[in-house]
Amino acid sequence: TDQSASAREDEERTRSLHKLRKNVEEEDVVGFVRESEAVINRLVEGGSPRLNIVSIIGMGGLGKTTLARKVYNSDNVKKHFNCRAWVYISNECRVRELLLGILQNLMSNHAYECRRRSNKKKSKKHNEAVNNIHDISNLSDDELKKRVWECLKWKKYLLVLDDMWKVQDWDEVKDAFPDENRGSRILITSRFKEVASHTGQDPPYCLQFLNEEQSWELFSK
Q: Which domain holds residue 98?
A: 2-220
> Which three-class secondary structure state does DSSP give residue 182?
coil
pLDDT of res. 208: 81
What is the distance between the alpha carbons of residues 159 and 87, in angstroms, rounded to a whole number? 8
What is the number of domains present in the chain?
1
Sequential pLDDT tens for the chain (221 residues) = 655 555 455 455 445 544 444 455 554 566 788 999 999 999 998 778 999 999 999 998 888 999 999 999 999 999 999 999 999 987 887 888 899 989 888 887 765 554 555 555 555 544 454 445 557 888 899 999 999 999 999 999 999 999 999 999 999 999 999 999 999 999 999 999 999 999 988 899 999 866 666 666 656 65
Please compute, for residue 34, the number of CA atoms within 13 A of its CA located in the half-sphere on the CB side.
5
For position 71, which CATH number holds? 3.40.50.300
In 3D space, the residue among 52, 61, 40, 55 whose CA is nearest the CA of residue 190 turns out to be 55
Task: Give the residues across from 157 on adjacent strands.
Answer: 83
Beta strands in the chain (DSSP E): 52-57, 83-88, 157-162, 185-190, 205-206
